[in-house]
Amino acid sequence: MDTKTAEFLEYVQAGGQVETGDWMPDEYRSRLIKFIEMHANSELMGVLPERDWILRAPTLQRKLALTAKIQDEVGHAQLIYRVVEDLGKPRGACLDDLVSGKAKFHNVFHYPTHTWGDVGVIAWLVDAAAIVSQKALLKCSYAPYARIMKKICWEESFHILHGRDVILTLVTGTDEQFALVQEALDRWWEPLMHFHGNPIPAEEDPMVVWRIKSQANEEARQQFLEGYVPQIRELGLEIPDRALLKDDETGAWLYTEPDWEKLRAVVTGHGPASAERLAFRRLSREHVAWVERVVLAEAA
């Protein structure tokens, strides 16, 4: 590592912040772009499972809340792609890579939704898992990203509340409604356990070394379990992992080791709904291309 890079590394590890125009090592820049791009892609793809349910949501209030949540997510995607652009990768290239399958997005958005129970579980637990990571990103060494995370975290808190409200409504309803939630939880537990990624130690995680992430994967997962297992169990729901329990001595949550190969397969586009979702994204991009042309031509 050359001196300039070594000094930069020392600087960010000591809590130093980096702005768009600052010098940064190529490795830092490319890792940053990849990470932030994946986040933007996830916000954009995350809209699709929920969008399916706007017309099928059980009440007008739920339709409105779901629509507002989707609007937020798309707004987040736009903000985040803007950050990537300022780092040097144009939005068009990001979207090209997304629909071609070259770029990744979070595992949870590669799965289909089957019932309204899924919608509640996603808005509550998937968003909860995401917010654990996002809070840690408030300390990202790259300041423009850290700044937009503030707005994103603020809006995500409404999403979680909406999700929890949906779940609470279902579990205090009929037996059939309760069963919807339990069944959805049974299917979503594995993707949730995968969400924070495999347990690389912080020192070996380049993202933590460069202070892009300030939290190791396992730490995030533990935080999620610590916060949400009690909240799930207090509703009378069963978590489909017999081995899930808290070690009283260490305070750590023990669980059945997830299949990390499966996670890798899913995020490389082999999830149950990956192909369908990417095809939709490709199609919608082609369909709205004329809007972009007309708007830009008129403004010229």
N residues, the chain: 300
Least distance CB 55 / other proteins (angstroms): 18
Q: Are 160 and 127 in contact (CB under 8 A)?
A: yes
Least distance CB 99 / other proteins (angstroms): 12
CA-CA-CA-CA dihedral for 74, 145, 228, 154, to nearest 10 = -60
Least distance CB 18 / other proteins (angstroms): 13
Tokens representing 99?
A: 């629909």
Q: Is 282 in the site for other proteins (CB under 8 A)?
A: no
**Of residues 29, 34, 91, 246, which one binds other proteins by CB under 8 A?**
91
Q: What is the distance between the terminal CA atoms of the chain, rounded to a whole angstrom?
A: 46
Least distance CB 287 / other proteins (angstroms): 6
Least distance CB 83 / other proteins (angstroms): 8
What mask, x for binding other proteins by CB under 8 A, covers residues 51 to 90? --------------------x---x--xx--x--xx---x
* β-pairing verdict for 245-246 and 253-254: antiparallel
Considering beta carbons, is residue 78 or 172 the nearer one to other proteins? Answer: 78
Give the count of residues interacting with other proteins (CB under 8 A): 29
Least distance CB 15 / other proteins (angstroms): 19
Instruction: Give the Å distances, CA to CA, from 22 to 1, 143, 208, 213.
Output: 19, 11, 20, 19
CA triple 38-66-114, angle to 5 deg? 80
Considering beta carbons, is residue 75 or 240 the nearer one to other proteins? Answer: 75
What mask, x for binding other proteins by CB under 8 A, covers residues 107 to 146? -------------------------------------x--
What mask, x for binding other proteins by CB under 8 A, covers residues 144 to 163? x--xx--x--x---------
- Per DSSP, the three-state class of 230 is helix
Least distance CB 75 / other proteins (angstroms): 5
The torsion region of residue 18 among left (phi > 0), alpha (psi -120 to 50) and beta comes to: beta
Instruction: Give the Å distances, CA to CA, from 64 to 53, 119, 214.
Output: 11, 14, 35
Considering beta carbons, is residue 78 or 256 the nearer one to other proteins? Answer: 78
Q: Is 289 in the site for other proteins (CB under 8 A)?
A: yes
Rounded to whole angstroms, the Cα distance separating 206 from 131 reads 21
Give the list of residues 6+ apart from residue 267 with CB closer than 8 angstroms, or none.
104, 105, 106, 107, 110
Considering beta carbons, is residue 21 or 251 the nearer one to other proteins? Answer: 21
Q: Which residues bind other proteins (CB under 8 A)?
A: 21, 71, 75, 78-79, 82, 85-86, 90-92, 144, 147-148, 151, 154, 286-287, 289-290, 292-300
